[in-house]
Structure 1
Amino acid sequence: SYKLDCCLTNTDAHVAGGSEDGKVFLWDLVEASVVSSFRAHASV
Structure 2
Amino acid sequence: FFFKQWGGWGADGKRRAKKANGRKLAGRTWDEMPETAAYL
Normalised-by-shorter TM-score class: under 0.3
Larger % of helix: which?
Answer: 2
TM-score relative to the length of structure 1: 0.23
Q: Which one has a larger percent strand, Structure 1 or Structure 2?
A: 1
Computing the radius of gyration from Cα coordinates, the structure with the larger value is 2
Give the TM-score normalised by structure 2: 0.23
